Structures are given as structure tokens and as C-alpha cells.
Amino acid sequence: MSKRIICMILTLILAVGILASCTGSTPAEKETVYALVTKSAGNPYNEKEAEGFTEVMKAAGAKYVVQHPESATVEAQIAVINSLISQGVSSIAVAANDANALSSVLAEAKKAGIKVLTLDSDVNPADRLTFCNQAGVQQVAQALIDAVYDIAGGEGEYAILSATSQATNQNAWIDAMKAIAAADSKYSKLTLVEVAYGDDENQKSTDQTQALLSKYPDLKVICAPTTVGIAAAAKVLQDKKSTVKLTGLGLPSEMAAYIGDDADHSCPYMFLWNPIDLGRLAAHASIALVKGDIDGTIGGTFTAGNMENSPYTLTAVEGTNYSEIILGQPFRFDGANIAEWAQVY
């Protein structure tokens, strides 16, 4: 081999070596950070959710960030999610304030490689990998319409005091209640007079309750499928010693003074699930998505520490090919058990 060729080969080897040392170095490992975005600040239910999420993240030694948008609006959530995307978080678990309006910001998150999931209140299922659902929509709706039926004595006027008009979870429960009532003549003597919105704000929910009372003198029952709405309505009705009765979804710690089956209490019974557990479930699901133990496909399973129903399985959202993870059944609180649960959440 001529000196020239040897020289060319050596130059080539050197060049390849330099190139490899420039491009072949392993990039710095991206730090894993798990994010939770609740519906809004100032709602104790959302704080309980965050408590469960935080507990699991701390126990796992993981980095996490919890954001409570300033109000239960989609605009506030978009701003928060945009900032999480720029921070380069690894996952975002969001309790959505709107089914569709988060679509483009969540698409941005996905493009940035962030694992997107929902809890408590879903988005359009194509925009997330999975949904941590507190209880099946049908089960919640059945429990609520049956409570209205029972407390009204099978007939008469009832109203719904909801959260925001865009809240996916409340809208799903209300639609399912209407469908159940329309499909079974058992409920034909119940009349839904209005769905009012207190926007998950105490004052607005109080004002809406008062407005319902003055607009509908024959009203028998108010059903509030929101912990903020039910607590506000409970106080209005009990302070007024109103004969209108209340049911819905409430936090035991906020409702203990109003629960009882007598004239002194405005709410004979109500339902909920453990919001701390819902936060825990969302934390475990976030970790499983980031680690690749699940990818959102129906049938996937993951372990959730010492949670009661662990391991959890991703099941189909009724009538779709999209997945959800059901935490459990809605639980009933009445005069017999409220004191005990008021200590827990």
C-alpha cells in the first residue's frame, strides 16, 4: 500500500473518530417531572386530590408539580398547561374544565413527548391516553336520580345545581340522569325544572340556590353534583329551615352539619368517593405511563402501591375504544356514617 493511501486511511479514521466523539456522546438524561392540574384553586375537593397525588410522588421519591388554576375556566387551565410544556414536564394529569377547548394545548403537550391523562373530569378521549374516573358515569347518575326520586317521594319538581356549564364530569352525570329518567316510567312524575350553574364558587352557588327557591315555589329537591354547590345549598336551605331537601355529591368534612333525616337537616343523604384516592390513582397512572408499564390501551394493568383495588386495569369507556380506570363505586353518606367519614375527607 502506498504511503499516500495509508495516509488517507489514517485521516479517514481520525475524521470518523472526531465525528463520533462529537455526535456519539450520550445526551444529559432528561429529568422526570410529574404534573397535576386541578380544576381550580380554593376548592377543598381539589386540595384532597392534590394531597393524594403528592403523597404517592413523595413516597416514590419523584419530582412533581401541582397547579391549581385561579378559576374553574378553560383559559386558566390553558395558561397553566402552556407553562408546564415549556418547563418540559414528563406527564400532565388534568381535571378538565372543558371537554373540547383543551384540545390544541394537549396536542402541543403530546408533540413535546408529554404523557397526557385526565382525572375527575375528562376531555375528548382522543386528546388523552387514559382517564382516572372516580366512579362509572352510569353508577353516579343512577345513585343521584334514585336519591331525588326517593327524597321527593316519587313525584314533583326538582332542580340541579351544577358546577360550570362546561364541566365534563357534571355534564356527563346530568345527561345520564336525564337519560335514565326518560327511559323508565318509574321517574315520569319527576319534573326537572332547571339546571343552574354555581361555577364551583361558593357565593355564586349560594345565589343560584336562592334564585331556585324564589323561582320555583313547588320545588321539592335540589340535586347538586358538585361538592362546592352542595355545601352552599345545604347552608342556604338549613338556615332558612326550608322544606326543600338536598342531595348530590359532597365532601363529608364540609357536609357533616347538614346531613340527617329530620327537619333540622337539609340533606338526608349524599354520595362521593375518596378524592385523596383519586389523586393517588392519578399519580400511579402517571408513573406507569412515563415508565411505559401502560400506554393507554384497554386491557393494560399497573400496580398502585397499597391502594385497595391494585393492580388496576384499563377498561373501555362505554361504547368506545378509549380507556379509563375506574376508582370504585360512589359511596353513600347519611346520618349513621357521616361523623366517621367527616374525619377522613
| Strands of the sheet with 315-316, listed across from one edge | 63-67, 33-37, 91-94, 115-119, 131-135, 323-328, 315-316
Write down the least CB distance from residue 78 to ligand RAM, Å.
18
Pairing verdict, β 269-272 and 245-248: unpaired
- The answer to whether 163 contacts ligand RAM (rule: CB under 6 A) is yes
Pick the closest to residue 292 from 115, 111, 40 (CA basis).
115
Distance, in Å, from the CA atom of 203 to the CA atom of 229, rounded to the nearest integer, reads 9
Among 102, 249, 288, 294, binds ligand RAM (CB under 6 A): 249
Write down the least CB distance from residue 88 to ligand RAM, Å.
28
- Residue 60 class from Cβ within 10 Å (0-12 exposed, 13-18 middle, 19+ buried)? middle
Evaluated on CA atoms 268, 42, 239, 208, the torsion sign reads negative
Place of cell 335540589: 222
Distance, in Å, from the CA atom of 102 to the CA atom of 91, rounded to the nearest integer, reads 15
- The answer to whether 254 contacts ligand RAM (rule: CB under 6 A) is no
- The answer to whether 120 contacts ligand RAM (rule: CB under 6 A) is yes
Q: Which of these ranges, 25-33, 106-114, 220-228, 329-337, lies near ligand RAM under the rule CB under 6 A? A: 220-228
Among 157, 199, 200, 277, binds ligand RAM (CB under 6 A): 200
Which helix (H) or strand (E) covers residue 108, if one does? Answer: helix 103-111
Q: Which is nearer to ligand RAM, 68 or 157 (CB)?
A: 68
**CA-only gyration radius of the chain, Å:** 25
Q: Which of these ranges, 108-116, 204-212, 224-232, 300-308, lies near ligand RAM under the rule CB under 6 A? A: 224-232
- The answer to whether 121 contacts ligand RAM (rule: CB under 6 A) is yes
Among 227, 266, 274, 286, binds ligand RAM (CB under 6 A): 227
Residues 332, 336, 337, 342, Cα dihedral to 10°: 110
Q: Which is nearer to ligand RAM, 300 or 330 (CB)?
A: 330
- The answer to whether 43 contacts ligand RAM (rule: CB under 6 A) is yes
Among 35, 36, 37, 39, binds ligand RAM (CB under 6 A): 39
- The answer to whether 247 contacts ligand RAM (rule: CB under 6 A) is no
Q: Which of these ranges, 58-66, 145-153, 161-169, 209-217, lies near ligand RAM under the rule CB under 6 A? A: 161-169
Distance, in Å, from the CA atom of 286 to the CA atom of 130, rounded to the nearest integer, reads 10
Q: Which of these ranges, 24-32, 39-47, 188-196, 335-343, lies near ligand RAM under the rule CB under 6 A? A: 39-47
Binding stretches for ligand RAM (CB under 6 A): 39, 43, 45, 95, 120-121, 163, 167, 169, 200, 226-228, 249
